Structure 1
Amino acid sequence: MGSAFRSFPTLLRAVIRSTLGRPFLVIENDIGIQISRGKTVKTTSMANNMSDTTKFKKYLIVGLCNHGMPKTRHSVGAQVLDRLATDLDLKWAKDKNCAGFTTTFDLNESARVIMLKPKQFMNVNGKSVLKTVRHFNIDTDKVYLMHDDLDRALGKVSIKEGGSASGHNGVKSVQSMLGSAADKMFKVRFGIGRPSSRDEVIEYVLKNFTPDESAGVQVGVLKSLQSLTWHLEARGEDVLILTNLYGVNPKILNQVRKKQQKKKERVLSDKSQLGISTALSEEASEGQSSEEQLYTGTEEEIKGR
């Protein structure tokens, strides 16, 4: 039934499987494509055969968070991932293999992105990350941690490779679980500002953003996704699916404009040189004609004599 059944040309395939002697029905998608807001997005259910993921480079994006406290400042990393999932019309699914919620999408024909929201408290998020890295066989240099940063103003974003945890318990947990390999991962740091007193830090990060901070949070979410998109692009990935949502890197636009300007200048220069050459040719032609006329006149004068 296996090969003949899999070759059946339909989008959906019903598979009867058995677990502990109890049959159940699974609906699988042969092509793994869904239409989303006027664009085509390739997606992969976590229930699909894991052997399929060996065809792709795999990136892991983790939204560090406190499970059960999704709106707090400390969980802003997960809020960024929620925005990305919403923009791509992806659905989160609980995954026991990863101790968290996961969803995936194909970045391009050769790269797949796995997104993770740990279903644990912040100081043990590393266990979920380690499980996911092992389950999907992901290289640590392709791991991105989205997390809050007290040392940056609200909405300010930066990406850093490796480095210290700067007192962030979630990052510390990941580093302790991954060991020295954690130096290769990237941290997308989302500024949340710092309270006036050091004694207020714990209470501050465990509270929700205020209404007055809403605009700054949205700006930061967009910047985080732009930074991620452009960083992946700088690594040589085709990120069209993301640039359609979050824009093209201004640096690349400037490079394109400079190339276009140089090309325009070359064309103008060529035209200018062609114009000078034409003018010289015409002058030379006129000069030759005058000499001929002068010579002819002299000959006629001679004949007249």
Structure 2
Amino acid sequence: MTMQELRVLKDAAMCQPSRWRGSAAIAVLCCLAMSGCSNWMKAGMLQIRPFTGFNDVSTASLVHVDSTASGQTLALAQQLQQAYAAAQTTIEHTHGAGFKSPNVYVCASEACYAKYVMIADSSAETGQGGNTVILNAVRLLKNDSGLPIFTHELSHIFWFQHGQRCAPRWWLEGMAVASSGGGAEKVSDAQARQLLREGQAFQPALDNGCFNPAQRGSLSWAAYYRQAAMFVSYLRESAPRFAHALELMRQGENVGLALQTAYGQPVAELWEQWRKKEMVLAQ
């Protein structure tokens, strides 16, 4: 799960015109005039909050574990340290470029996790401008999903570092699930197809993902993630076009235009072709 809906502090030009920059008082007054001010303030604090009470898994390790961790949580952190390089290679291969390795913090309690994330009932989040991954071992250990969820979060880290922080939610989550296998465990492809057959489908909105909600209709988040991943996988079947689209996105082109340029069709048409294909498979 990303924080892109709330990482828009630097984009809030309506609150911080150039002549006001550097004025904390004006920024606070402007924030107070807006809805969701407390969330904005929390997001800003999380960008600078130091991580305390963690131990390195090993010398010079990028994985840090809650100092109160039990044996199971310690084992999870060690597993992530051992699999880190392979997980990053997976994302670099599927996304078409390298990225800077983030620090990873494994919390052993809900209280620890809630201290560093926007959404306390999630299993993982990215933070601090694409430089950290925070994992909730309490939730990840229940279904042995630590490694796939970690890899999922690395996909979000990649796009943060490659300038797609406010990409449409379906794209960010679809790429993350399709590349990692984690994040939509509660809904299978077959179940997602059945939902399509019943008329329950996500919409591939191309709006700014920071300011606009995901268009998931009546779908659960797991079903939304699964359908988005299936659509991304469909696009990936045309490898040269998909690689071209990724290259354009890495260069700063928005998702909709990148896909339309690479495939020669609007995203809405590509989505409809995918939907029809899945409907046939659902029968």
Structure with the higher fraction of residues in strand conformation: 1
Larger radius of gyration: 1
Q: What TM-score comes out, normalization by structure 2 length?
A: 0.27
